[in-house]
């Protein structure tokens, strides 16, 4: 598992934080959008204190609730890893991706300040998650798709991998005591 954490979790976490810092440095919050692929893909800088699809964004205790949920998920993943809940390469890869996504967005929630987006400049739990990738595929429900980031992508890919793993990986065998 350590190899997967070093191979996937750390590089993806660093990519997530680097890309968010680059966006914060180059795009004003809720400012301009740069079209990368005409009519389909844009870069921009938006703040999200909620979860997927912007649900609960801006609510009073969102950062507290989602920080608690993130830490609980990490505790569950640690427990699950130690109890061999994730027996195969696919499920362990998914865990490495989820951990990357959790740490990426949790770092923002804990340390990214609203006034200028500087990492490690804000008050504890006063931050926001930087979302910056926006797609519009031109047909419902994909027009436009809610903004997201690298960490969000890691979590989505991990969920898909866990779904596949639940069908193709054998559950761990329980030892029978005689």
Classify residue 65 by burial, with Cβ atoms within 10 Å: 0-12, 13-18, 19+.
Answer: middle
Q: Pick the catalytic residue: 108, 126, 131, 136?
A: 131
Which residues touch 81 (CB under 8 Å, ≥6 apart)? 1, 92, 95
Handedness of CA 55, 109, 99, 78 (dihedral sign): negative
Calculate the alpha carbon distances from 147 to 95, 129, 131, 133, 152 in Å. Answer: 23, 11, 6, 5, 10
- Residue 152 is a catalytic residue: yes
Torsion of CA 114, 119, 121, 125, to 10 degrees: 60
Q: Which residue is catalytic, options 16, 108, 115, 152?
A: 152
Token look-up 């830490």 returns: 71
Q: What are phi and psi of 89, to 5 degrees?
A: -65, -40
Whose tokens are 């639940």? That residue is: 166
Is 16 in the active site? no
Positions annotated as catalytic residues are: 131, 152
């Amino acid at each position: 598992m350590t190899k997967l954490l070093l191979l996937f979790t750390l590089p993806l976490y660093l990519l997530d934080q680097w890309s968010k810092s680059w966006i914060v440095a180059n795009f004003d919050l809720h400012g301009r959008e740069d079209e990368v692929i005409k009519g389909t893909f844009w870069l921009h800088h938006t703040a999200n204190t909620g979860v997927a699809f912007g649900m609960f964004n801006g609510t009073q205790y969102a950062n507290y609730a989602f920080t608690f949920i993130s830490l609980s998920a990490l505790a569950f993943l640690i427990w699950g890893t130690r109890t061999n809940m994730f027996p195969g390469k696919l499920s362990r890869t998914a865990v490495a991706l989820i951990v990357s996504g959790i740490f990426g967005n949790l770092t923002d929630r804990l340390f990214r300040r609203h006034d200028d987006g500087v990492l490690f400049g804000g008050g504890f739990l006063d931050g926001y998650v930087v979302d910056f990738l926006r797609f519009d595929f031109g047909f419902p429900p994909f027009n436009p798709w809610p903004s997201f980031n690298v960490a969000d992508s890691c979590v989505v890919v991990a969920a898909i991998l866990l779904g596949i793993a639940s069908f193709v990986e054998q559950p761990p065998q329980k030892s029978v005591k005689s």
